[in-house]
Amino acid sequence: MGLKKFALISLFVLFSLLQVLHQAGADPSESPAVTQQPAPKPLDEVDRPEHASRRDQHRVQSPSGAAPAVTGQDEAPSGAGLRSPALPSHRGELESVLDEKRSEFATEAESRRIEAVIINPFRAAAVAGEVGGRVDEFYFELGDLVHHGQVVAEISAKRFRLVVKRAKENVRALRVALDRARKDKEIKARLFAMDVSSEQELGRAESEAEVAEHKVKEAETALEQAELDVEACQVRAPFTGYLAARHKEPHEAVAPLDKLFTLVDNAKVFAVAYVPETFMGNFSKGKEAVFVEASGRQFRGRVERVEPIIDPKTDTRKVFVLIDNAQHPLEIGMSGSLESLQ
């Protein structure tokens, strides 16, 4: 904004100086560049031959001897003078300087203003389900505010619960087998100590106990996976935002990792601009900028990040200006311009 004030003051001073010089040039008596001619001498004080020769050049003799007719003035009127050509020259130089300043201001303003800027969300996610099945329910409509952790959609979990039940029974049975194998190993170890059992039998008992223990761990892992599948049937919001799209509807089939809905966080937004490389000095990371939308409203922000890669076709970089949007005056997809404040 300081640049605009400086430009206006400079233009005002130059116009004022130009006006003063113009007025001075209109009044010859006040201009130092104007020279006055001396008043003509009386005829009786003028050297006769010189006066006569100058007057005879303008005299016309009449046939009847009448008084001669004078066709011109002998001298210029008193106070008449010629205007110095220096003043127009000064005015031309001032106008040239003024044009240069206008061009400089226009170039500087152009380097600080970027058009075709689009508002993008601070973050957005196309959320998918981890399991496949049938969509049972959607708990939110388009445009609804969803808080972090809330269930947005639910996939039928009936078959996954059966898997959990079966996995629990398997774990229970394998733990019983493990307890039996451990007791058998202890008995064989005591018998071996009493020289009643052989070392081979003790080794077999130890191996069976290890196998039973391994099977229990595998069953517990399968149970944990089945429980995760049941939990994954409830698809939750990864962050607080607005439901922007629903890619599936209730009763539709869905495969694992199919997109279910899109969530958008616009509590903060990015004004995204493609800035020419020659203007990047005004839009480097950390500098302040103002987004001006179509109606003229202005929103202050700061350059959050700049893409390191230059587009070779346009010689521009993608710049992201982060703007607070807690009251949501800015909507995703709005367009406008971006002005640097530094």
Kindly report, residue by residue over 276-316, the tens digit of the pLDDT: 998 998 999 999 999 999 889 999 999 999 999 999 999 99
pLDDT of residue 112: 76
Averaged pLDDT for residues 20-47: 48
pLDDT of residue 193: 87
Q: In the chain, what percentage of residues exceed pLDDT 90?
A: 54
pLDDT of residue 6: 59
Least confident of 81-90, 128-137, 242-251: 81-90
pLDDT one-digit tens code per residue, 65-85: 444 444 444 444 444 444 444
Nearest to 159 by CA among 258, 252, 251, 230: 230
Tell whether the torsion through CA atoms of 293, 298, 301 and 307 is positive or negative: positive
Full-model pTM: 0.60
d(CA 230, CA 157): 6
Q: Sorting pLDDT into bands at 50, 70 and 90, what band is 198?
A: confident
Q: Comparing 113-123+264-340 with 157-232, is the CATH topology the same?
A: no
> Does residue 202 or residue 148 have the better pLDDT?
148
Averaged pLDDT for residues 111-128: 90
Q: Sorting pLDDT into bands at 50, 70 and 90, what band is 37?
A: very low
Domain ranges in the chain are 2-108, 113-123+264-340, 157-232
pLDDT of residue 240: 95
For residue 323, is pLDDT > 50? yes
For residue 319, is pLDDT > 90? yes
What CATH topology corresponds to 157-232?
Helix Hairpins (1.10.287)
Averaged pLDDT for residues 123-135: 95
Q: Sorting pLDDT into bands at 50, 70 and 90, what band is 167?
A: very high
Averaged pLDDT for residues 207-227: 95
What b/e string do you get for 268-296 counting C-beta neighbours within 10 Å, with b at 16 or more? bbbbbbbbeeebeebbeeeeebbbbbeee
For residue 45, is pLDDT > 90? no
For residue 156, is pLDDT > 70? yes
What CATH topology corresponds to 113-123+264-340?
Elongation Factor Tu (Ef-tu); domain 3 (2.40.30)
Nearest to 337 by CA among 279, 290, 301, 278: 290
d(CA 33, CA 38): 16
Strand partners, 291: 299, 338
For residue 20, is pLDDT > 90? no
Please provide residue 323's backbone torsions phi and psi, each rounded to the nearest 5 degrees.
-125, 135
